[in-house]
Amino acid sequence: MSPRVDIVFTPMCLRFSIYQGAPIYYASADPEAQLDGIEKLMGIDPRKDTLFDSNLGFLPIAHTVLIRGKKKILVDPNNHHMGFYGMLAARLKELGVTPAEIDLVVNTHCHHDHSGSNFVVRNATLVLGEGELEAALNTYWPQYVDALFTGIMKEVRTISLEDGLVPLDEGVYVLKTPGHSPGSLCVLVETETERVAILGDTAMTQAEYTQRTLSHWYTPEQVKEINRSLDRIVEWGPTLVIPGHDRAFSVRRFSD
């Protein structure tokens, strides 16, 4: 039985800043406007400013993907709003699935825009990269981590770099791809017609995957790690790539 891949949500983003005490919002689905483009437009210099005091906020919707084979796997349930206001459950219903039917949840990483709606699919088994819970504790706080990860899921399964390509179901694999975060994962799926790579934020955009034009917020060590991780994904030979914050796109395999 070949697995089926469906996109639940496509990405977009709200960026916001404060001008004379009033919030100003920018909405965009364009990947450059979602990410570093707005920062450049506003004159934010990553050599002088830090990500969290630049007066430019980030309310993203990332890619959410449903994989159906022998198991039902949800990759990155998305931010809190998509679950809290019922949109995740409604969209799953459109695809013929209820939250209770989800067997596995894969958080490509623990950032809130990918994991904030874990609570909708509570009691599924959660798959995380090794070190990602520790990174979440450093970013958030213990009660938050318990509420979205360790306290509500059936169990937490961790994937290490040494595990290599780990099967989750027939034709579905997970691979640890550190760089964007210490425990970042990618999900790789062999359907009847495609080899699909669901990247999370290992590559946030098509340009990050194809041209390796990475965000200016990354450290030199992160850039090295991401490039090593992307090399491993390219070697696997995907034909369809789903980045974290850009539209899915087709690529040719070396053997084609």
Return the half-sphere exposure (C-beta side, CA atoms, 13 A cut-off) of residue 253. Answer: 13
Residue 131 inside a domain? The answer is yes
Q: Is the pLDDT of residue 63 over 80?
A: yes
What CATH number did the domain enclosing 118 receive? Answer: 3.60.15.10
Residue 79 inside a domain? The answer is yes
Classify 29 as helix, strand or coil: coil
Number of domains in the chain: 1
* Torsion sign (Cα): 57, 27, 223, 237: positive
Contacts of 10 (CB under 8 A, 6+ apart): 29, 61, 63, 247
The backbone torsions φ and ψ at residue 161, rounded to the nearest 5 degrees and listed phi first, read -65, -35
Residue 138 inside a domain? The answer is yes
Residue 169 inside a domain? The answer is yes
Tokens of 114: 């990918």
Please give the sequence-ordered ranges of beta strands (E in DSSP) within the chain, or none if there are none. Answer: 4-9, 12-19, 22-28, 57-61, 64-68, 72-75, 104-106, 125-129, 155-159, 166-169, 172-176, 185-190, 195-200, 240-243, 249-250
Contacts of 127 (CB under 8 A, 6+ apart): 104, 105, 106, 107, 156, 157, 158, 159, 168, 174, 185
Mean pLDDT of the chain: 94
pTM summary value: 0.94
So what's the pLDDT on residue 5?
Answer: 98
Q: Is the pLDDT of residue 53 over 90?
A: no
**What tens digit of pLDDT does each residue of 74-88 get?**
999 999 999 999 999
Residue 104 inside a domain? The answer is yes
List the domain range (segments joined by +) for residue 12: 4-250
**What tens digit of pLDDT does each residue of 162-190 get?**
999 999 999 999 999 999 999 999 999 99
- Hey, what's the torsion of the CAs at 42, 13, 133, 100, to 10 degrees? 170
Taking the C-alpha atoms of residue 91 and residue 10, their distance in angstroms, rounded to an integer, is: 12
Residue 255 inside a domain? The answer is no
Q: Are 149 and 128 in contact (CB under 8 A)?
A: yes
So what's the pLDDT on residue 49?
Answer: 84
